[in-house]
Protein backbone atom coordinates (compact mmCIF):
# COMPACT_ATOMS: atom_id res chain seq x y z
CA UNK A 1 0.00 0.00 0.00
CA UNK A 2 1.29 3.45 -0.91
CA UNK A 3 0.89 6.31 1.56
CA UNK A 4 0.42 8.95 -1.13
CA UNK A 5 -1.93 11.90 -1.41
CA UNK A 6 -4.59 11.67 -4.14
CA UNK A 7 -3.09 14.61 -6.05
CA UNK A 8 0.13 12.62 -6.51
CA UNK A 9 -1.67 9.95 -8.54
CA UNK A 10 -0.59 11.09 -12.00
CA UNK A 11 -0.06 14.64 -13.24
CA UNK A 12 -2.13 17.42 -14.70
CA UNK A 13 -1.40 18.38 -18.31
CA UNK A 14 -0.83 21.79 -19.88
CA UNK A 15 -4.57 22.21 -20.50
CA UNK A 16 -5.41 22.19 -16.80
CA UNK A 17 -8.27 24.31 -15.48
CA UNK A 18 -7.87 26.77 -12.61
CA UNK A 19 -10.25 26.49 -9.68
CA UNK A 20 -10.58 27.57 -6.06
CA UNK A 21 -12.13 26.21 -2.87
CA UNK A 22 -13.13 28.08 0.27
CA UNK A 23 -11.88 26.72 3.60
CA UNK A 24 -14.18 28.72 5.85
CA UNK A 25 -13.86 28.62 9.63
CA UNK A 26 -16.53 30.09 11.86
CA UNK A 27 -18.08 29.99 15.33
CA UNK A 28 -21.42 28.23 15.74
CA UNK A 29 -22.89 28.66 19.22
CA UNK A 30 -26.04 26.52 19.18
CA UNK A 31 -24.64 23.19 17.91
CA UNK A 32 -21.19 22.75 19.48
CA UNK A 33 -18.88 19.78 19.11
CA UNK A 34 -19.86 16.39 20.50
CA UNK A 35 -16.20 15.71 21.29
CA UNK A 36 -14.30 16.73 24.39
CA UNK A 37 -11.57 19.34 24.11
CA UNK A 38 -8.28 17.91 22.83
CA UNK A 39 -6.23 20.99 22.11
CA UNK A 40 -5.77 24.27 23.93
CA UNK A 41 -7.26 27.15 22.02
CA UNK A 42 -9.77 25.13 19.96
CA UNK A 43 -13.28 25.92 21.17
CA UNK A 44 -16.25 23.56 21.03
CA UNK A 45 -18.04 25.97 18.70
CA UNK A 46 -15.23 26.48 16.14
CA UNK A 47 -16.23 24.81 12.88
CA UNK A 48 -15.62 24.55 9.13
CA UNK A 49 -18.13 24.63 6.26
CA UNK A 50 -18.47 21.56 4.02
CA UNK A 51 -20.77 20.34 1.25
CA UNK A 52 -21.60 16.83 0.06
CA UNK A 53 -21.73 16.57 -3.70
CA UNK A 54 -24.80 15.03 -5.33
CA UNK A 55 -24.54 11.30 -6.01
CA UNK A 56 -25.61 11.88 -9.62
CA UNK A 57 -22.63 14.06 -10.56
CA UNK A 58 -20.08 12.68 -13.03
CA UNK A 59 -17.12 14.10 -11.10
CA UNK A 60 -16.52 13.01 -7.46
CA UNK A 61 -20.15 11.92 -6.87
CA UNK A 62 -21.24 11.82 -3.25
CA UNK A 63 -17.93 13.07 -1.91
CA UNK A 64 -17.62 15.68 0.80
CA UNK A 65 -15.78 18.81 -0.30
CA UNK A 66 -15.15 22.45 0.41
CA UNK A 67 -17.37 24.83 -1.56
CA UNK A 68 -15.66 25.89 -4.76
CA UNK A 69 -15.27 25.48 -8.48
CA UNK A 70 -13.65 26.72 -11.66
CA UNK A 71 -12.60 30.28 -12.34
CA UNK A 72 -14.88 32.14 -14.74
CA UNK A 73 -13.70 34.92 -17.07
CA UNK A 74 -15.53 37.50 -14.95
CA UNK A 75 -13.36 36.53 -11.97
CA UNK A 76 -10.51 38.43 -13.63
CA UNK A 77 -6.82 37.82 -14.21
CA UNK A 78 -5.61 35.00 -11.93
CA UNK A 79 -2.18 36.64 -11.76
CA UNK A 80 -3.52 39.91 -10.34
CA UNK A 81 -2.82 40.03 -6.60
CA UNK A 82 -4.88 41.66 -3.85
CA UNK A 83 -3.84 42.35 -0.22
CA UNK A 84 -5.32 40.25 2.62
CA UNK A 85 -4.17 39.75 6.25
CA UNK A 86 -2.04 36.76 5.21
CA UNK A 87 -0.25 38.57 2.38
CA UNK A 88 -1.12 39.07 -1.29
CA UNK A 89 -3.30 36.51 -3.07
CA UNK A 90 -4.93 36.09 -6.45
CA UNK A 91 -8.07 38.20 -6.53
CA UNK A 92 -9.58 35.99 -9.22
CA UNK A 93 -9.26 32.90 -7.02
CA UNK A 94 -10.79 34.75 -4.07
CA UNK A 95 -13.73 35.91 -6.18
CA UNK A 96 -14.23 32.41 -7.58
CA UNK A 97 -14.15 30.78 -4.14
CA UNK A 98 -16.68 33.24 -2.71
CA UNK A 99 -18.92 33.15 -5.79
CA UNK A 100 -19.03 29.35 -5.84
CA UNK A 101 -19.63 29.18 -2.08
CA UNK A 102 -22.58 31.54 -2.45
CA UNK A 103 -23.98 29.53 -5.37
CA UNK A 104 -23.61 26.21 -3.52
CA UNK A 105 -24.58 27.14 0.03
CA UNK A 106 -26.37 30.50 -0.10
CA UNK A 107 -23.89 32.17 2.25
CA UNK A 108 -23.46 35.95 2.08
CA UNK A 109 -19.87 36.55 0.88
CA UNK A 110 -19.91 40.01 2.49
CA UNK A 111 -19.70 38.25 5.86
CA UNK A 112 -16.47 36.41 4.99
CA UNK A 113 -13.06 37.84 5.84
CA UNK A 114 -10.49 36.34 3.48
CA UNK A 115 -7.34 35.61 5.48
CA UNK A 116 -5.07 34.20 2.79
CA UNK A 117 -4.56 31.33 0.37
CA UNK A 118 -2.50 28.16 0.21
CA UNK A 119 -0.25 27.19 -2.67
CA UNK A 120 -2.16 25.78 -5.68
CA UNK A 121 -2.65 22.02 -5.54
CA UNK A 122 -2.90 19.81 -8.67
CA UNK A 123 -5.90 17.47 -8.84
CA UNK A 124 -5.07 15.07 -11.69
CA UNK A 125 -8.33 13.09 -11.65
CA UNK A 126 -10.15 16.14 -13.05
CA UNK A 127 -7.12 18.01 -14.42
CA UNK A 128 -7.60 21.02 -12.13
CA UNK A 129 -5.12 23.24 -10.34
CA UNK A 130 -6.90 24.14 -7.11
CA UNK A 131 -6.12 27.16 -4.92
CA UNK A 132 -7.47 26.80 -1.36
CA UNK A 133 -8.67 30.18 -0.02
CA UNK A 134 -8.77 30.53 3.77
CA UNK A 135 -11.55 32.58 5.36
CA UNK A 136 -13.10 33.56 8.68
CA UNK A 137 -16.90 33.77 8.89
CA UNK A 138 -17.12 37.04 10.81
CA UNK A 139 -20.80 37.67 10.00
CA UNK A 140 -22.52 34.29 9.79
CA UNK A 141 -25.42 33.86 7.36
CA UNK A 142 -27.79 30.87 6.92
CA UNK A 143 -26.63 28.10 4.59
CA UNK A 144 -28.35 25.15 2.93
CA UNK A 145 -28.41 23.23 -0.34
CA UNK A 146 -29.16 25.64 -3.17
CA UNK A 147 -29.21 23.21 -6.11
CA UNK A 148 -29.95 19.56 -5.31
CA UNK A 149 -28.54 18.57 -8.70
CA UNK A 150 -25.15 19.77 -7.44
CA UNK A 151 -25.17 19.10 -3.69
CA UNK A 152 -27.04 16.79 -1.34
CA UNK A 153 -25.94 18.34 1.96
CA UNK A 154 -24.47 21.57 3.33
CA UNK A 155 -23.21 21.37 6.90
CA UNK A 156 -20.75 22.75 9.43
CA UNK A 157 -18.40 20.41 11.29
CA UNK A 158 -16.85 21.43 14.62
CA UNK A 159 -13.05 21.32 14.53
CA UNK A 160 -13.02 19.20 17.71
CA UNK A 161 -15.02 16.53 15.92
CA UNK A 162 -12.49 16.59 13.08
CA UNK A 163 -9.45 16.19 15.32
CA UNK A 164 -11.07 13.61 17.61
CA UNK A 165 -8.85 10.49 17.28
CA UNK A 166 -11.97 8.29 17.33
CA UNK A 167 -13.04 9.93 14.05
CA UNK A 168 -9.70 9.62 12.25
CA UNK A 169 -8.47 6.92 9.86
CA UNK A 170 -6.94 6.37 6.44
CA UNK A 171 -9.33 5.77 3.54
CA UNK A 172 -7.98 3.27 1.01
CA UNK A 173 -8.87 3.11 -2.67
CA UNK A 174 -7.54 0.73 -5.33
CA UNK A 175 -6.91 1.91 -8.87
CA UNK A 176 -5.70 -0.78 -11.18
CA UNK A 177 -3.04 -2.81 -9.38
CA UNK A 178 -2.15 -0.04 -6.94
CA UNK A 179 -3.82 0.87 -3.64
CA UNK A 180 -3.60 4.39 -2.29
CA UNK A 181 -4.78 5.93 0.94
CA UNK A 182 -5.60 9.39 2.20
CA UNK A 183 -6.34 10.91 5.61
CA UNK A 184 -10.03 10.60 6.42
CA UNK A 185 -12.48 11.96 8.99
CA UNK A 186 -15.73 10.13 9.90
CA UNK A 187 -17.74 12.94 11.46
CA UNK A 188 -21.30 13.47 12.69
CA UNK A 189 -23.63 15.87 10.93
CA UNK A 190 -24.92 18.37 13.50
CA UNK A 191 -28.59 18.05 14.35
CA UNK A 192 -28.91 14.54 12.86
CA UNK A 193 -27.84 10.95 13.57
CA UNK A 194 -25.93 10.80 10.27
CA UNK A 195 -22.19 10.57 9.83
CA UNK A 196 -20.18 11.35 6.71
CA UNK A 197 -16.61 10.56 5.71
CA UNK A 198 -14.32 13.31 4.52
CA UNK A 199 -11.49 11.76 2.50
CA UNK A 200 -9.45 12.06 -0.68
CA UNK A 201 -8.45 15.55 -1.80
CA UNK A 202 -10.52 17.28 0.88
CA UNK A 203 -9.29 14.90 3.57
CA UNK A 204 -5.69 15.66 2.68
CA UNK A 205 -6.29 19.42 2.69
CA UNK A 206 -8.02 19.24 6.08
CA UNK A 207 -5.25 17.11 7.53
CA UNK A 208 -2.56 19.52 6.32
CA UNK A 209 -4.40 22.67 7.46
CA UNK A 210 -5.23 21.31 10.93
CA UNK A 211 -1.64 20.15 11.36
CA UNK A 212 -0.22 23.49 10.20
CA UNK A 213 -2.47 25.35 12.65
CA UNK A 214 -1.21 23.17 15.49
CA UNK A 215 -4.69 21.77 16.21
CA UNK A 216 -4.14 18.13 15.21
CA UNK A 217 -3.72 15.51 17.92
CA UNK A 218 -2.21 11.99 17.64
CA UNK A 219 -4.47 9.33 16.11
CA UNK A 220 -4.16 5.68 15.08
CA UNK A 221 -2.45 5.89 11.69
CA UNK A 222 -2.61 2.09 11.38
CA UNK A 223 -6.39 2.25 11.09
CA UNK A 224 -7.26 1.84 7.40
CA UNK A 225 -10.82 1.54 6.06
CA UNK A 226 -12.17 1.28 2.50
CA UNK A 227 -12.98 4.63 0.94
CA UNK A 228 -16.75 5.21 0.61
CA UNK A 229 -16.86 5.06 -3.19
pLDDT tens digits along 109-150: 999 999 999 999 888 777 889 999 999 999 999 999 999 888
CB-based burial of residue 223 (10 Å sphere; 0-12 exposed, 13-18 middle, 19+ buried)? Answer: exposed
pLDDT, mean of residues 186-212: 90
Q: Name the nearest CA neighbour of 91 among 121, 69, 114, 63.
A: 114
> What's the pLDDT at 21?
97
Closest CA to 108 of 67, 140, 65: 140
The pLDDT tens digits for 165-197 are 999 999 998 888 888 899 999 998 877 788 899
pLDDT of amino acid 86:
92
* pTM given for the model: 0.90
pLDDT at 61: 66
Q: What is the mean pLDDT of residues 4-19?
A: 67
Between strands 87-90 and 121-123, the pairing is unpaired
Q: What is the pLDDT of residues 79-110, one digit of tens each?
A: 999 999 999 999 999 999 999 999 999 999 99
Contact 43, 27 (CB under 8 A): yes
In three-state secondary structure terms, 123 is strand
With b for 16 or more beta-carbon neighbours within 10 A and e for fewer, the 145-171 pattern comes to: bbeeeebbbbbbbbbbbbbbeebbbbb
Rounded Cα gap, residues 172 and 228, in angstroms: 9
**Tens digit of pLDDT for each residue in 32-44?**
666 766 556 677 7
> Topology of 6-222 in CATH?
Nucleoside Triphosphate Pyrophosphohydrolase (3.90.79)
User: Could you tell me which residues come within 8 angstroms of residue 119 by beta carbon, excluding any fewer than 6 positions away?
Assistant: 131
**Where exactly are the structural domains of the chain?**
6-222
Amino acid sequence: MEDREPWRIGRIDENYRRSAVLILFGALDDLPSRSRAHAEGVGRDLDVLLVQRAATLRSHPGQVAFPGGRLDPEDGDPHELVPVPGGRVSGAHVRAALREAEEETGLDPRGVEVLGALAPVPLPVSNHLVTPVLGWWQDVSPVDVVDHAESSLVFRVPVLDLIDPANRHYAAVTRGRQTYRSPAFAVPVAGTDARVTVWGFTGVLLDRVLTALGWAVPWDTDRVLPAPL
